[in-house]
């Protein structure tokens, strides 16, 4: 039997245990039935864990998209603030409110990406403090405050989704390990069953890299149902 490696992916584990399940169906002894039952439980669990991991990854994609959407909304809210300041300065020459709030232009404020964007907002709000009660700025300031809250929430959701992916993958790899342990255990028990003809045990396990669907010829007597040596007590194949 070719042992699965820890680095082999879930599809490889799934095919190996499924092949073993199918072969045990034809074994014809209580041991084969037991091994098939055990393998089926682990196969089903692996599929569930694999699907949960895939779902978690899909959720992370959604969360990342939401981060991008809310970040763009935040940047647009900052642009609206800049527009209000420019308009106010045109209507009140000499006040230079825009320069006071954006001494290097608003581009320096929206340049950071991801959670780094949050790092510049406290300074921005501090510079806007003298104007927070001005009617000409109130709508844009409220929009900025709401955009900041939405962006923070989106970043938190993305972190949670990323953690969920890590946890789901850990459970999937644990399910893989259970499959490897089951195949090793089954191999040992089948070798004990076939005693002097341990090669028969190998027929219940898929060789890694084999092309599924293409039958391979085996020496006569080396597969379940073959002609055993006289006097050897081997189970018939159903």
The 10s digit of each residue's pLDDT in 66-85 is 999 999 999 999 999 999 99
Residue listed under structure tokens 């042992």: 3
Cα of first residue to Cα of last residue in the chain, in angstroms, is 23
pLDDT for 80-133, tens place per residue? 999 999 999 999 988 899 999 999 999 999 999 988 999 999 999 999 999 999
Cα 138 from Cα 165, distance rounded (Å): 41
Q: Where are the alpha helices (DSSP H) in the chain?
A: 10-24, 30-91, 97-101, 107-110, 116-128, 135-194, 199-202
pTM of the model: 0.78
pLDDT for 134-188, tens place per residue? 999 999 999 999 999 999 999 999 999 999 999 999 999 999 999 999 999 999 9
Question: Mean of the pLDDT values across residues 206-229?
Answer: 51
Give residue 211's pLDDT.
56
Judge whether residue 209 has pLDDT over 80: no
Question: Mean of the pLDDT values across residues 227-233?
Answer: 38
């Amino acid at each position: 039997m070719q042992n699965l490696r820890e680095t082999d992916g879930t599809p490889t584990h799934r095919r190996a245990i499924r092949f073993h399940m199918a072969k045990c169906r034809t074994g014809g002894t209580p041991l084969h039935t037991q091994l098939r039952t055990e393998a089926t439980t682990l196969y089903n669990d692996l599929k569930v864990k694999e699907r949960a991991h895939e779902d978690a990854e899909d959720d992370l994609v959604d969360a990342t998209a939401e981060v991008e959407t809310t970040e763009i909304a935040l940047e647009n809210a900052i642009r609206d603030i800049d527009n209000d300041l420019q308009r106010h300065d045109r209507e009140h020459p000499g006040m230079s409110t825009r320069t006071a709030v954006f001494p290097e232009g608003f581009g320096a404020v929206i340049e950071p990406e991801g959670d780094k964007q949050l790092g510049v907002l406290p300074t921005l709000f501090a510079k806007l403090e003298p104007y927070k009660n001005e009617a000409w700025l109130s709508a844009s300031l409220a929009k900025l405050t709401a955009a900041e809250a939405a962006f923070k929430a989106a970043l938190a959701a993305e972190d949670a989704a990323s953690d969920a992916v890590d946890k789901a993958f850990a459970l999937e790899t644990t399910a893989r390990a259970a499959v490897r342990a089951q195949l090793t255990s089954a191999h040992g028990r089948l070798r004990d069953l076939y005693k002097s003809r341990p090669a028969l045990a190998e027929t219940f396990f898929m060789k890694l890299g084999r092309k599924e669907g293409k039958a391979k010829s085996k020496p006569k007597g080396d597969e379940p149902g073959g002609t055993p040596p006289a006097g050897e007590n081997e189970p018939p194949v159903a």
